[in-house]
Amino acid sequence: MKIIRLKINNSKLILQGNHQIPDCGICLTIGNFDGVHFGHQQIINNLKKIALKKKLPSALMTFEPHPAGYFDKDKIDHYYLTTLKQKITILQKFAIDYLIIVNFNLNFCEISADDFITKILKQVFNVKNLVIGYDFTFGKNRQGNFKTLENANFELHEVNPHKIIIDDSEITCSSSVARSALKSGKIDLANKILGRNFTVQGVIVNGNKLANKIGFPTANLKTNVKQIIPKFGVYQTLVTIDNDKLKLPAITNFGIKPTFNNNAMQPLYETHIFNFSDNIYHKKIKLELINFIREEQKFNDITHLSTQIKKDINAVYNIFNNSVI
């Protein structure tokens, strides 16, 4: 997958990536693709089928930062389902020919729908076919829509929302529904919408060793400032260390450790890996959230906390023994 970055600076288009768009043009889809969930995957699969049929390279255009965070500064932090790095990694698995990352800044916001079509889609990227979601809008003040593109003589392919059935209820796969599920502790619903386990990743940091002192050593991972914060609590998790293919069963507490901290602090993922004693400080890990076990609690003392941790570990250990992940 070839990556092209587009930035608009004082009306000047700046391309980075040194990848030539072929004269035949491309088959393109456009969207934020935050989470690259099942609905997005339907769009991408349709994109690839149409590109193959039309004998054109496939391309996906996305935006960084997320437009929602640009227009609402309160959404800049802890909003993303996937960081840009995670998004790129996931998209690479779909074998798209081109990934176009547009820098969403003030200059880009000011582009009219007509200029977006003429100057970017046609002149820069030579777009022949467009595969778009049912609710796609574009241009300054969201002037452009499906009809606008149709009038511009693109060959259009509209993809309807993808829905899944859970407990006899029909749920639309969308990034907003996935975010809501994560914030309310419905990790199973979020994972079904995403089509994979919600994952955070980073480098293991030094903690205060309190968990180790009471017999439950943990690997500590700080939250990414951009990635969404799920509901505080205890989770059944899987851990991958330094891109190893082996997934290790674990239990994770995510929160602010209220038993030890009276003041709010940065949330922390504290993960106890079962039957594991290696030193993994400063190593990179991926942490997949599987099941929500219980909410985070404040205990009267360490003894009560230790008793509950033992119960949590036994509960998660039994879940692993009785399930196939």
pLDDT one-digit tens code per residue, 306-315 = 899 999 999 9
- Asked if 134 contacts 158 with a C-beta cutoff of 8 angstroms, the reply is yes
**Which pair of structure tokens corresponds to residue 298?**
């404040």
As given in the structure block, the two tokens for residue 39 are: 């609905």
Better-predicted residue by pLDDT, 184 or 282: 184
Determine the pLDDT at residue 262: 58
Q: Which residues contact 38 (CB under 8 A, 6 or more apart)?
A: 162, 164, 173, 192, 193, 194, 195
149 & 11 share domain: yes
Q: Are residues 105 and 235 in the same domain?
A: no
Q: What is the pLDDT of residue 314?
A: 94
In a domain, 188, yes or no: no
Instruction: For residue 178, tell me if it sits in a domain.
Output: no
Query: 225 and 149, same structural domain?
Result: no
| Bridge partners (DSSP) listed for residue 165 | 170
Strand order in the sheet with 198-203: 198-203, 284-295, 233-241, 248-255, 268-273, 219-222
Average pLDDT (169-188) is 94
What's residue 264's pLDDT? 57
145 and 91 assigned to the same domain:
yes
Task: Look at residue 179 and tell me if it is in a domain.
Answer: no
287-303 pLDDT, tens digit per residue, is 999 999 999 998 888 88
Whichever domain contains 276, its CATH number is 2.40.30.30
Are both 219 and 160 inside the same structural domain? no
CATH code assigned at 13:
3.40.50.620
Return the sign of the alpha-carbon dihedral for residues 134, 106, 37, 3: positive
Residue 100 has a pLDDT of 97
Domain enclosing residue 108, as ranges: 2-164
- At residue 279 the predicted structure's pLDDT band, cuts being 50, 70 and 90, is confident
> Of 111, 140, 164, which marks where a domain is finished?
164
Residues 84 and 16 in one domain: yes
- Smallest CA-to-CA distance from 33 within 78, 100, 97 is with 100
Check whether residue 26 and residue 144 sit in a common domain: yes
% of the chain residues with pLDDT over 70:
94
The pLDDT score that the predictor gives to residue 50 is 97
* Domain boundary residue, one of 144, 164, 184: 164
Confidence (pLDDT) at 272? 95
Question: Is 191 within a domain?
Answer: no
User: Would you say residue 181 lies in a domain?
Assistant: no
6 contacts: CB under 8 Å, gap ≥ 6: 13, 14, 15, 16, 100, 101, 102, 103, 120, 124
d(CA 133, CA 291): 31
Residue 223 confidence (pLDDT): 80
**Domain contains 192:** no
How sure is the predictor about 213, in pLDDT bands with cuts at 50, 70 and 90? low
Average pLDDT in the 178-205 region? Answer: 95
Residues 208 and 296 reside in one and the same domain: yes
Q: pLDDT tens digits for 36-78?
A: 999 999 999 999 999 999 999 999 999 998 888 777 766 667 8
Which has more pLDDT, 87 or 300? 87
pLDDT of 186? 96
**Based on the structure, what is the number of domains in the chain?**
2
Same domain? 136 vs 275: no
Q: Do 159 and 262 lie in a common domain? A: no
Are residue 150 and residue 203 in the same domain, yes or no?
A: no
**Dihedrals φ, ψ of 8, to 5°?**
-110, 120
Residues 245-266 have pLDDT tens digits of 899 999 999 998 877 775 657 8
Last residue of a domain, one of 140, 164, 188: 164
Query: Considering only CA atoms, which of 256, 139, 278 is closest in space to residue 204?
Result: 278
Most confident of 48-62, 167-181, 209-223: 48-62
Q: Which two tokens stand for residue 128?
A: 């022949």
Region 2-8: mean pLDDT is 94
Q: Is residue 88 part of a domain?
A: yes
What percent of the chain lies above the pLDDT cut of 90?
62
What are 195-198's contacts with CB under 8 Å, separation 24+?
A: 195/37, 195/38, 195/41, 197/238, 197/288, 197/289, 197/290, 198/81, 198/230, 198/288, 198/289
Q: What confidence tens digit (pLDDT) does each residue in 102-145 have?
A: 999 889 999 999 999 999 999 999 999 999 977 789 998 889 99
| 22 and 77 fall within a common domain | yes
SS3 at position 130: strand
With respect to residue 207, please indicate whether it lies within any of the assigned structural domains: yes
